[in-house]
Structure 1
Amino acid sequence: MAAGCVITEECSLAVSADRMWKVTCSSDALLKACAGLIDAVNVEGDGGPGTVNTLTLSAAAAAASGGGLMKGRVVACDDAARVLRNEVLEGGRVKGQLKSLVNEVKLEAAGDGACVAKLTMEYERLDGGGALAPEDQAELVGGYLGMFKTVEAYLVANPAEYA
């Protein structure tokens, strides 16, 4: 990746890392927890590296993200470390300004019933330029943080789910 093309962000969540991980790694759980945001999830593979996940976004989410489909390939999935790395193949900004985008999410325990989601995004622009403008970076990160918060809200409202 070119220098300056990495975004990092952290998000504190009021649910355990184990519960968040269970939803993150299950298409059925993600669909249930993100009802209203995601309309369908299609999985091609066993969930490990090489698996292609296609999320069909709701009309509202599609309008906010610039596209109705998010398609990615699992690069790495480490259950013990709770790290998921995906290459975005299609959707949102990848179609517009970016040649490539790889996201890594790491969930770390942060006390009783809480965790921190650490997001790292590495990208390369189509025009070969450096970092995206701050507002474009914020928009790119915002979609992922919004999904974390949606899952968190679902898990807080349903404390027995994925326990």
Structure 2
Amino acid sequence: MVTGSITEELALAVPAEQLWKAAFATSDESSMRNLLTGLSDADVKIHGDGGPGTRYTLKFHPGLGGASRVLIKGRLAARDNVARVISWDEVAVEGGEVAAAAQLKSQVVKCKVEPTVAGGCVAKIAVEYESVDGTPLSAMNEAKLMEGYVGLMKKAEENMVARSVQFA
């Protein structure tokens, strides 16, 4: 049962194909660490072959969500490299303001990357969540939850622009 859903469209200054290849096409530990340099500490763990069912664990530095550490865990549900759509289920966030303020039973996160005429791309992020008490998050907590996912995309963009040769 879905308690609430939030969406965000984020314009990014990197080509859709380049972002997709760097962030979502294979998602191995080394490329994820490189892509999230400056945001994620060395604790990026991926268990599985990179296909559906693969489990991801990302541990972040202080500052993301106001906690000493934020841990995001999830399971890859589906990846479509042609349509550039990826989704994770069984997503859990531990630490941070949203995790402390709103107990979420589950999250499903989906991202679609589309090219723009200007040569960049738009990342369309959708989060469906179920809260423990069955009530929707406040608008402020929904914004904080989405802010975390947007922050990941912006850090990836920043690193890709700064070191485009490494991600080409």
Measured after TM superposition, the shift of residue 68 of structure 1 is 3.0
Which residue number corresponds to residue 5 of structure 2?
A: 6
1:131-146 correspondence to structure 2 within 5 Å: 131-146=136-151
Q: Does 1:160 align with 2:165?
A: yes
Contact preservation (8 Å) 2:15, 2:120: yes
Secondary structure of residue in 2 paired with 1:56:
strand
4+ long deviations beyond 6 Å: none
Percent identity, aligned pairs only?
40
1:116 aligns with one of 110, 113, 122: 122
Secondary structure of residue in 2 paired with 1:160:
helix
How far apart, in 2, do the equivalents of 1:19 and 1:28 lie? 17
How far apart, in 2, do the equivalents of 1:135 and 1:125 lie? 15
Contact preservation (8 Å) 2:62, 2:69: no
Contact preservation (8 Å) 1:30, 1:151: no
Query: Which range is displaced more, 8-17 or 83-92?
Result: 83-92
Secondary structure of residue in 1 paired with 2:82:
coil
Q: Give the TM-score normalised by structure 1.
A: 0.88
Give the unaligned 5+ runs of structure 1.
none
Code of the residue aligned with 1:155 in structure 2: it is M
Secondary structure of residue in 1 paired with 2:49:
coil
Q: Give the TM-score normalised by structure 2.
A: 0.86
Contact preservation (8 Å) 1:94, 1:101: no
Which residue number corresponds to residue 126 of structure 1?
A: 132
Measured after TM superposition, the shift of residue 111 of structure 1 is 2.0
